Amino acid sequence: MRAPTRIAALGVAFFAVLLVGISALEQWGPFRPVRPTRVVVLGDSLTVQASWSIDRELNAAGYDAAVSGQNGAVIADRMNEIRSYNGYSGADIAVLALGTNNAYFMSGDNTRRVTLDETKRDITKAVDEAFAPHNDSPFPNTVTCVVWVTVNDRAHLIGLDTKAPPVNQAIRDEAATRTAAGKQMLVADWTTRSQGHDDWFVADGLHLTPAGQEAYGQLIRESAQRCHD
């Protein structure tokens, strides 16, 4: 091999090694890019309504957000999604905006009746799914903070003034239990935040006007930021 050809080959080899080295440093070394904190928000029709506001608030705060609402959802309806976001490429923060329909379906004559005891068990199970590593997955759990949004307990037209308070208490009790166990579970108190803001709600006293959607998104963003405290 003539010298120029040999030099050219060595140059190509050196360049290839250099590219591999840079790639390795980007993937595993000090040059690895820092990914944004991932936040998943799983909720019911209020999340559907406020999804644009939630997504905008979280992304403006630097989060990588995934927002998913399901009309009429009780806690049990979202259990598979809660589980799926805990693991490889999953969420760091899980915001659960659920419980309104559990309270609504607590009436004895409702065909979708959900008892308070069932609701309490589902709250515990949902937080377990968010926090606990799964034996059938090769990936470690990723969720380090759970935020649970409380239920508006002043919507008397649909009975939430009597049925929501025990659901909210169950959420607070679960948060206290997890905190005592060394886990980070926070309560986003929509009940208190929305007090005195009738303009945030439509005629049923539950679903959101545009101003209410803005406020809902802001509360979720603020609560996610509290996970870093």
For residue 58, pLDDT beyond 80:
yes
| Rounded mean pLDDT, 7-36 | 51
- φ, ψ for residue 88, nearest 5 deg: -55, 130
SS3 state of residue 176: helix
CA 53 – CA 214 distance, rounded (Å): 6
Q: What are the helix (H) ranges across the chain? A: 3-28, 45-60, 79-84, 100-104, 116-131, 160-180, 190-193, 210-226
What pLDDT does 139 receive?
A: 65
Q: Could you tell me how many residues make up the chain?
A: 229
Burial class (CB in 10 A: 0-12, 13-18, 19+), 118: middle
The separation between the first and the last C-alpha atoms of the chain, rounded to the nearest angstrom, is 64
Q: What is the DSSP letter of 99?
A: -
pLDDT digits (tens, 9 = 90+) for 168-198: 999 999 999 999 999 999 999 999 999 999 9
Band (pLDDT 50/70/90 cuts) for residue 140 is: low
Tell me if 94 sits within 8 A of 145, measured CB to CB. yes
Q: What is the DSSP letter of 98?
A: -
* pTM score of the predicted model: 0.83
Q: Decide if domain 35-226 falls under CATH 3.40.50.1110.
A: yes
Tell me if 214 sits within 8 A of 199, measured CB to CB. no
Tell me if 129 sits within 8 A of 86, measured CB to CB. yes
For residue 12, pLDDT beyond 50:
no
pLDDT digits (tens, 9 = 90+) for 99-134: 999 999 987 666 788 999 999 999 999 999 998 866
Band (pLDDT 50/70/90 cuts) for residue 26 is: very low
Tell me if 174 sits within 8 A of 159, measured CB to CB. no
CA 202 – CA 127 distance, rounded (Å): 31
Band (pLDDT 50/70/90 cuts) for residue 142 is: confident
Residue ranges covered by each domain of the chain: 1-33, 35-226
